[in-house]
Amino acid sequence: MTTVAILGGGQLARMLAIAGHRLGVQCRTLDPEAESSASPVAESIHAPWNDHRAVGRLAAGATVATFEREHLPLSTVTELAQLVPLRPGPEALQCLQHRGDQRRFLARLGLEQPKVAFPTDENSYRRALADMGLPVVVKSARDGYDGRGQCVVRSAADAAWAWTELSASDLVVERFVPFDEELALVAVRGSNGEFSAWPLVRTYQVDGVLAMASPMSAAGALQVQAEAITRRIADALGYIGVLCVEFFRVGERLLINEVAPRVHNSGHWTIEGAECSQFENHLRAILGWPLGSTALRGASAVVNLIGAMPERARALRVPGVHWHDYGKRPRPGRKVGHLTITAPSADELDERLGRLRSGGISIPAHMTSSTLG
């Protein structure tokens, strides 16, 4: 049987493994967590990242390796890549996992992004804030996700707090962008350079965590612009697999917010809402197989379930609702599952979102398919 080794055993690895089952592909994961989300559906190894024997077990008999998160020790990634082909490669991960390195890479490509500074001490930090003017966004260069490791600085008090809380890591200071909306493009590049993208997604964040997203049915020039940017990034890295580029839309311009070198929350709707999901296409790409269609099947949206799972029966009474439970212990701010809602039309999708909202599912009242898709 074809075996794919995965660094990380969270919900992304879980959904990769489920997609693999349909393709006749076995997934094997390595994760330090004793109760990882992928454990029920994949062969799982639980050990520290620096356990050489565990890395060897992960690679044994594997056709190819990949990762489900970017915040990994490069020593582990390099060690695995010496045992089995790793896709995307360690060079892509090294370039993108550090926010400062990622910003410098995008600048070398001449791609539009917010003005950015890389302070090395408190004096250069203060100079960066004075040069840009408030507000700015201050981010730790490593290990930030779902709103963690970053804050919007609007005052001197915010600036002092950000320095105290975040300066243990390298810092990135970015000029705040007064954007019209946040968009994301999930795309896939094959081993032969073949490139395909799903429709642009409008995203809605709550406290820095993606709460809801829906594909745009007709993005026109924005889709063309986003695909050109994303393909430029993927080609420059010799990238193989799925990646996501998050954008700020300012009028008709797209500024890059961040690049994620992996399958992404913004693409979870593709499992039921597209001809081929991001998870299946990632496996196809890293195994050198033909890519599947990224076309829409109809209207759809994904709603993240954060903190705790809702009442299952109440959600499933609504037609077109697809329930995804990650098998994780409830915890405030933690993604524990998601719902994908599909419908033949945007109007019917709005009606189904309204029924979920009335049933107690947390969906912001102003979010409908007309504002999302």
- Would you say 267 and 203 are in contact if contact means Cβ atoms under 8 Å apart? no
Which of 317, 323, 319, 322 is closest to 348 using CA atoms? Answer: 319
Strands in 109-229 per DSSP E = 116-117, 136-140, 150-153, 171-175, 181-189, 195-197, 201-206, 209-215
Strands in 176-285 per DSSP E = 181-189, 195-197, 201-206, 209-215, 241-250, 253-260
- Would you say 253 and 112 are in contact if contact means Cβ atoms under 8 Å apart? yes
Per the document, the length of the chain is 373
pLDDT of residue 369: 53
Distance CA(307)–CA(61), nearest Å, equals: 38
The first and second tokens of residue 115, run together, are 């003005």
Strand, coil or helix: 275:
coil
pLDDT of residue 180: 97
Distance CA(32)–CA(8), nearest Å, equals: 8
Locus of tokens 């490069």: 74
Per-residue pLDDT of the chain (373 residues; tens, 9 = 90+): 899 999 999 999 999 999 999 999 999 999 999 999 999 999 999 999 999 999 999 999 999 999 999 999 999 999 999 999 999 999 999 999 999 999 999 999 999 999 999 999 999 999 999 999 999 999 999 876 666 788 999 999 999 999 999 976 789 999 999 999 999 999 999 999 999 999 999 999 887 788 899 999 877 999 999 999 999 999 999 999 999 999 999 999 999 999 999 999 999 999 999 999 999 999 999 999 999 999 999 999 999 999 999 999 999 999 999 999 999 999 998 999 999 999 999 999 999 999 999 988 888 665 555 554 5
Distance CA(192)–CA(194), nearest Å, equals: 6
61 contacts: CB under 8 Å, gap ≥ 6 = 3
pLDDT of residue 347: 95
Going by DSSP bridges, is the β-strand pair 299-306/171-175 parallel, antiparallel, or unpaired? unpaired
- As a whole number of Å, the end-to-end CA separation of the chain is 40
The first and second tokens of residue 106, run together, are 């995008």
Go through the domains of the chain in sequence order and give each one's CATH number. 2-86 (3.40.50.20), 115-175 (3.30.1490.20), 181-372 (3.30.470.20)
pTM comes to 0.95
Q: Residue 323 — φ and ψ, nearest 5°?
A: -95, 130
